[in-house]
């Protein structure tokens, strides 16, 4: 299963539409999209607006690939489960976020094994066609524990 998650704060239709379009073009029936608070509805993928934390962990255990924005908490969790990722940054110029911190994080993570970066929605289909589904992410959190990163991320996000 391919799990797409974009959080609930600001819609991220660019990413969701790109994946849904790819699912249609490739006749995929294994895509599940958490759309967030948006009026747009996927036409070719299973979907929901919100996923509760316990449901999110259950879906992650079932996922073969995780597609999302560059949310630190989700990256940490996916890394713990060893799930390959496709990440696309939200952009300030498109009013998807308050600043371009996700874009700069994407540039930094670009050569990380198991993490695939699409800088915009046009890159998503090509990356999905070429992705190594068996490559687990090798995120280096340095000396900081993933649990500490998750807690700080949760505090900042509230």
The answer, yes or no, to whether residue 146 has pLDDT greater than 70, is no
Taking the C-alpha atoms of residue 96 and residue 3, their distance in angstroms, rounded to an integer, is 20
Q: Residue 48: in which H helix or E strand, if any?
A: strand 46-48
Q: Which residues pair with 115 in a beta bridge?
A: 85
3-class DSSP state for residue 46? Answer: strand
The DSSP string of 99-143 is SSHHHHHHHHHTT-TTEEE-SSGGGHHHHHHH--TT-------TT
Q: What DSSP designation does 85 have?
A: E
Question: By C-alpha distance, which of 40, 20, 13 is closest to 94?
Answer: 13
Q: What is the pTM of this model?
A: 0.85
pLDDT tens-digit map of 94-139 = 988 888 889 998 998 898 999 999 999 999 999 999 999 888 888 7
| 64: Cβ contacts below 8 Å, ≥ 6 apart | 1, 2, 83, 84, 133
Instruction: Please report which confidence band the pLDDT of residue 1 belongs to, taking 50, 70 and 90 as the band edges.
Output: very high
Distance between CA atoms of 22 and 28, rounded to whole angstroms? 8
CATH of domain 2-157: 3.40.50.2000
- In the predicted model, is pLDDT for residue 144 greater than 70? no
- Give me the residues paired with residue 47 across strands: 33
Q: How many CB atoms lie within 10 A of CB 116?
A: 24
Q: What is the average pLDDT across 62-81?
A: 87
Contact assessment for residue 19 and residue 71, using Cβ atoms and an 8 Å cutoff: no
Give the pLDDT confidence score for residue 149 in this predicted structure: 65
**DSSP 3-state of 67:** strand
């Amino acid at each position: 299963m391919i799990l797409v998650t974009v959080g609930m704060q600001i819609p991220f239709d660019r990413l969701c539409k790109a994946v849904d379009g790819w699912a249609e073009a490739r006749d995929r029936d294994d895509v599940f999209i958490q759309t967030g608070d948006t009026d747009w509805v996927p036409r070719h993928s299973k979907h929901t607006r919100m996923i509760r934390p316990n449901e999110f962990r259950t879906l992650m255990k079932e996922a073969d690939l995780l597609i999302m924005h560059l949310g630190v908490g989700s990256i940490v969790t996916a890394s713990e489960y060893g799930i390959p990722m496709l990440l696309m940054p939200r952009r300030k110029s498109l009013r998807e976020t308050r600043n371009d911190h996700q874009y700069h994080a994407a540039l930094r993570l670009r050569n990380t094994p198991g993490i695939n970066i699409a800088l915009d929605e046009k890159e998503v289909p090509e990356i999905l066609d070429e992705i190594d589904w068996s490559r687990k992410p090798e995120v280096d959190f340095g000396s900081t524990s993933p649990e500490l990163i998750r807690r700080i991320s949760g505090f900042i996000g509230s």
